[in-house]
């Protein structure tokens, strides 16, 4: 297949640098360390314990991994002139993007999978108890988040011819997903000013849905619903609207994991090199 040599070269170049390998190791060790901390003696740890312990750091760590692997995937080769040389060979733009996505996306998936599986084993041995289906749900949700941010980074890489602009864009996205939850208070104040809050002073359901569309917020609801088992709060409580629940959040997470990649391909296909 024409994309195979591109994927092999991309993987070789990606793993050649010590900085990249060190960064991947740090990401995996975050999940391994979380498993070790959750499985301390007398904790009776479960996957829910593990997910709660890592909940505060996963948006930043997984977001940084996905964005860093994606944001230079196209623009780096384009700025260096390598992209035009590759396309001069019998490779289509679909081949180029498929090779890059499989290599870089595979590294992201492999790093997260190793970290979570080893961390899950540490949760269980010797003091905890791990349900494999729950661990699989946590793994799938975290991989989807990684692919979502990788897709966003790749899409950014197709939008510009400047690596510097792609870097700035990736940094802005990382800051946004890391601190998105803090925007809920300003949103509440703004809606309260216009008299759009609920009688109890909270966000209306449509505002909760819009605020919760961000990928790490969607991921958090999926984990709460299918891993931790939360059944309360404005999103997952018994009185919440159906479109705020875990099932819709799972669909949105899949959309985040696929649509940015599709948008990146469409942009790349129509770009004048």
Determine the pLDDT at residue 42. Answer: 61
d(CA 15, CA 110): 13
Q: Is the pTM of this model over 0.85?
A: yes
* Distance (Å, whole) CA 175 – CA 64: 10
Given pLDDT bands bounded at 50, 70 and 90, which one contains residue 63? very high
Cβ(234)–Cβ(59) below 8 Å: no
Instruction: State the DSSP string of 149-185.
Output: HHHHHHHHHHH-S-HHHHHHHHHHHHHHHHHGGGGHH
pLDDT at 194: 87
The string of pLDDT tens digits covering residues 72-123 is 888 887 776 777 677 667 777 788 888 888 999 999 999 999 999 999 999 8
Task: Burial-class residue 219 by CB neighbours within 10 Å (0-12, 13-18, 19+).
Answer: buried
Percentage of the residues of the chain whose pLDDT score is greater than 90:
49
- The predicted-structure confidence for 22-50, as pLDDT tens digits, reads as follows 999 999 999 999 998 887 766 678 899 99
Tell me what pLDDT residue 87 has: 66
């Amino acid at each position: 297949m024409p994309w195979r040599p591109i994927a092999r070269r991309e993987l070789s170049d990606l793993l050649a640098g010590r900085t990249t390998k060190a960064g991947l190791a740090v990401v995996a060790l975050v999940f391994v360390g979380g498993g070790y901390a959750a499985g301390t003696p007398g904790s009776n740890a479960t996957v829910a314990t593990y997910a709660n312990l890592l909940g505060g750091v996963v948006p930043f760590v997984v977001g940084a991994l996905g964005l860093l692997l994606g944001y230079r995937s196209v623009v780096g080769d384009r700025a260096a002139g390598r992209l035009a040389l590759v396309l001069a060979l019998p490779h289509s733009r679909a081949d180029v993007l498929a090779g890059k996505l499989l290599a870089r996306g595979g590294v992201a998936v492999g790093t997260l999978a190793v970290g979570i599986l080893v961390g899950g084993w540490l949760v269980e041995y010797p003091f905890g108890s791990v349900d494999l289906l729950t661990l699989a749900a946590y793994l799938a949700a975290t991989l989807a988040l990684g692919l979502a941010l990788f897709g966003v980074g790749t899409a950014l890489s197709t939008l510009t011819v400047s690596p510097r602009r792609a870097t700035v864009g990736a940094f802005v996205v990382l800051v946004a997903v890391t601190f998105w939850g803090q925007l809920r208070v300003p949103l509440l104040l703004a809606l309260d000013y216009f008299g759009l809050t609920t009688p109890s002073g909270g966000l209306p359901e449509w505002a909760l849905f819009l605020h919760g569309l961000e990928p790490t917020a969607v991921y958090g609801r999926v984990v709460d619903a299918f891993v931790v088992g939360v059944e309360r709060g404005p999103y997952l409580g018994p009185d919440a609207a159906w479109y705020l629940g875990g099932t819709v959040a799972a669909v949105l997470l899949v959309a985040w994991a696929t649509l940015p990649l599709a948008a990146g391909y469409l942009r790349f296909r129509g770009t004048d090199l």
